[in-house]
Amino acid sequence: LSRLTTFSPNLVVTKNIINLMYNHFDWTNQLSMVLAGFVFGIAIIFVSTILARKGEFR
């Protein structure tokens, strides 16, 4: 449950950023925007899992 509570706000933030990207959609920047959102989401998930593991090992 602790992992979910730390995880869900990050997912909401990622979803909001993706929504902002698609609201200001530019066809020339489509691929770079999708890649940036994808990499950013993976980075958030990676950091949150590391933080969750550190919390478990404490």
The predicted structure's pLDDT at residue 17: 75
CA distance 18 to 44: 13
pLDDT 10s per residue in the chain (58 long)? 455 555 566 777 777 777 776 766 555 567 777 888 889 889 988 988 888 888 776 5
* Distance, CA of 24 to CA of 28 (rounded, Å): 12
